Amino acid sequence: MKKRVISFILTFLFMGILWITLSGKFEPLLLFLGLVSVIIVTLMSGNLLFSNPSNDYTITFFRFLGYLPWIIIQIIKANIHVLKIVFSPNMMEKIDPHIIVFTTRLKKDFSIVTMANSITLTPGTITVTANPDGKFRVHAIDRPCAEDLPGEMEERVAKVFGE
């Protein structure tokens, strides 16, 4: 019961901030309309967004903020790599698409989703399937892109989610 109340309050605050950002006006009528719609949405889907709130979430959130700069640098480096492939005149010799399969030790749903999205955002690799057991099938565009997987990314994701 207590958890439901906390998740209701978190959803309410999140939706309220979103409403104020999207509206940007502070007239009483608009604020009242926003309050009514936020309450309706919270009652309908209050336990959807933060299904199991606990103190771990805040720690995980700050660890995730520490993970962001590394992944952004990786994304930019890999983007430049793909850009070079696309602009090179002999593109057909450079690309070598193939599918690789590997197993990670990640078990939580959230960490597997983060890992899959990180792989897809890093250019040169696309997640084809990801099982709950931590088994990934990845389509890579050439050999150097695939060599880095799973490697460092897995360790960092595991550290963020405490596995």
Partner 1 sequence: MHILINSIVIGLLFIGLIFFTGGTLGILRMPDFYTRLHPAGKLDTMGLMSFVFAFCIYNLEHLTWDSLIVSLKMLLIVFFVSLSSPTATHAIVDAGIRAGLKPWTKKNKEG
Q: Could you say whether residue 98 binds partner 1 (CB under 8 A)?
A: yes
119 vs 127: CA distance, rounded Å? 6
Number of residues counted as binding partner 1 (CB under 8 A) = 29
31 vs 115: CA distance, rounded Å? 39
In what order do the strands lie in the sheet containing 125-130? 98-103, 135-140, 125-130
Judged by CB under 8 A, the stretch of 2-10, 47-55, 103-111, 124-132 that binds partner 1 is 124-132
Judged by CB under 8 A, the stretch of 8-16, 59-67, 113-121, 147-155 that binds partner 1 is 113-121
Pick from 50, 126, 148, 163: which binds partner 1 (CB under 8 A)? 126
User: Which tokens hold the place of 28?
Assistant: 């009483």
Interaction pattern, residues 22-61, with partner 1; x per rule: CB under 8 A: x-x-------------------------------------
Judged by CB under 8 A, the stretch of 29-37, 44-52, 119-127, 147-155 that binds partner 1 is 119-127
Pick from 82, 100, 108, 163: which binds partner 1 (CB under 8 A)? 82
Q: Could you say whether residue 139 binds partner 1 (CB under 8 A)?
A: yes
Q: Could you say whether residue 75 binds partner 1 (CB under 8 A)?
A: yes
DSSP the chain: -HHHHHHHHHHHHHHHHHHHHHH----HHHHHHHHHHHHHHHHHHHHHHSSS--HHHHHHHHHHHHHHHHHHHHHHHHHHHHHHHHHSTTHHHH---EEEEEE----SHHHHHHHHHHHHHSTTEEEEEE-TTSEEEEEESSHHHHHTSSHHHHHHHHHHTT-
Of the pair 34, 123, the CB lying nearest partner 1 is at 123
The residues that touch partner 1, with contacts defined as CB under 8 A, are: 21-22, 24, 75-76, 79, 82-83, 86-87, 91-92, 95-99, 116-117, 120-121, 123-124, 126-129, 139, 141
